[in-house]
Amino acid sequence: MSNFFNEMYDGGKVREPYARLEGWTRAMPAELRQMKQAEAEALFRRIGITFAVYGEGGDPDRLIPFDMFPRVFTQFEWRKLERGIKQRARALNAFLLDVYGRGEIVRAGKIPARLVYQNEAFERAVTGFVPPRGIYSHIVGIDLVRTGPDEFFVLEDNCRTPSGVSYMLENREIMMRMFPALFRESRIEPVDGYADALRRTLASVAPAKCDRDPTIAILTPGHFNSAYYEHSFLADLMGVELVEGADLFVEGGFVWMRTTEGPKKLDVIYRRIDDSFLDPLCFRPDSMLGVPGLMDVYRSGGVTITSAPGAGVADDKAIYTFVPEMIRFYLGEEPLLQNVPTWQCGKADDKKYVLEHLPELVVKEVHGSGGYGMLVGPKATKDQIEHFRLKIEEDPGNYIAQPTLALSTTPTFVEEGIAPRHVDLRPYCLVGENIELVPGGLTRVALTDGSLVVNSSQGGGVKDTWVLAE
In this prediction, residue 277 carries a pLDDT of: 96
CATH code (residue 379):
3.30.1490.270
In this prediction, residue 55 carries a pLDDT of: 46
Instruction: Report, as an integer, the average pLDDT of 326-330.
Output: 98
Most confident of 217-221, 447-451, 455-459: 217-221
Going by pLDDT thresholds of 50, 70 and 90, the confidence category of residue 2 is low
In this prediction, residue 61 carries a pLDDT of: 61
In this prediction, residue 52 carries a pLDDT of: 52
Could you give the CA distance from residue 129 to residue 325 in angstroms, rounded to a whole number? 24
- Quick one: 272 and 348 in the same domain? no
pLDDT digits (tens, 9 = 90+) for 52-62: 554 445 555 66
- Quick one: 152 and 195 in the same domain? yes
Structural domain boundaries enclosing 182: 9-337+406-467
Give residue 213's region: left, alpha or beta (phi > 0; psi -120 to 50). Answer: beta
In this prediction, residue 62 carries a pLDDT of: 66
- Quick one: 133 and 220 in the same domain? yes
pLDDT digits (tens, 9 = 90+) for 111-140: 999 999 999 999 999 999 999 999 999 999
Residue 299 domain-assigned (yes or no): yes
Going by pLDDT thresholds of 50, 70 and 90, the confidence category of residue 349 is very high
Last residue of a domain, one of 360, 388, 403: 403
Instruction: Please state, rounded to an integer, the average pLDDT across all residues of the chain.
Output: 92
444, 461 contact by CB (below 8 A): yes
Residue 275 domain-assigned (yes or no): yes
Residue 1 domain-assigned (yes or no): no
In this prediction, residue 1 carries a pLDDT of: 41
pLDDT digits (tens, 9 = 90+) for 384-443: 999 999 999 999 988 999 998 889 999 999 887 889 999 999 999 999 999 999 999 999
What proportion of the chain, given as a percentage, has pLDDT over 90? Answer: 77
Could you give the CA distance from residue 5 to residue 11 in angstroms, rounded to a whole number? 10
In this prediction, residue 68 carries a pLDDT of: 94
- Strand order of the β-sheet with 248-251 is 248-251, 254-257, 264-266
Instruction: Report, as an integer, the average pLDDT of 367-396.
Output: 84
With a cut of 90, say whether residue 374 has pLDDT above it: no
pLDDT digits (tens, 9 = 90+) for 350-365: 999 999 999 999 998 8
* This prediction's pTM: 0.93
Instruction: Report, as an integer, the average pLDDT of 285-295.
Output: 95
Residue 3 domain-assigned (yes or no): no
More confident residue, 56 or 143: 143
- Quick one: 387 and 269 in the same domain? no
Residue 431 domain-assigned (yes or no): yes
With a cut of 50, say whether residue 446 has pLDDT above it: yes
In this prediction, residue 457 carries a pLDDT of: 67
Q: Which residues contact 155 (CB under 8 A, 6 or more apart)?
A: 143, 144, 145, 340, 424
- Quick one: 190 and 88 in the same domain? yes
- Quick one: 244 and 165 in the same domain? yes
- Quick one: 87 and 22 in the same domain? yes
- Quick one: 446 and 380 in the same domain? no
More confident residue, 367 or 280: 280
- Quick one: 355 and 228 in the same domain? no
Longest Cα separation, the chain: 68
- Quick one: 244 and 345 in the same domain? no
- Quick one: 113 and 230 in the same domain? yes
Residue 315 domain-assigned (yes or no): yes
HEC sequence for the chain: CCCCCECCEECCEECHHHHHHHHHHHCCCHHHHHHHHHHHHHHHHHHCCCCCHHHCCCCCCCCCCEEEEEEEECHHHHHHHHHHHHHHHHHHHHHHHHHCCCCHHHHCCCCCHHHHHCCCCCCHHHCCCCCHHHCCCCEEEEEEEECCCCCEEEEEEECCCCCCHHHHHHHHHHHHHHCHHHHHHCCECCCCCHHHHHHHHHHHCCCCCCCCCCCEEEECCCCCCCCHHHHHHHHHHHCCEEECHHHEEEECCEEEECCCCCCEEECEEEECCCHHHCCCCCCCCCCCCCCCCHHHHHHCCCCEEECCCCHHHHCCHHHHCCHHHHHHHHHCCCCCCEECCCEECCCHHHHHHHHHCHHHEEEEECCCCCCCCEEEHHHCCHHHHHHHHHHHHHCHHHEEEEECCCCCEEEEEECCEEEEEEEEEECEEEECCCEEECCCCEEEEECCCCCCCCCHHHCEEEEEEEEECC
More confident residue, 310 or 318: 310
In this prediction, residue 401 carries a pLDDT of: 94
- Quick one: 291 and 399 in the same domain? no
Domain count, the chain: 2
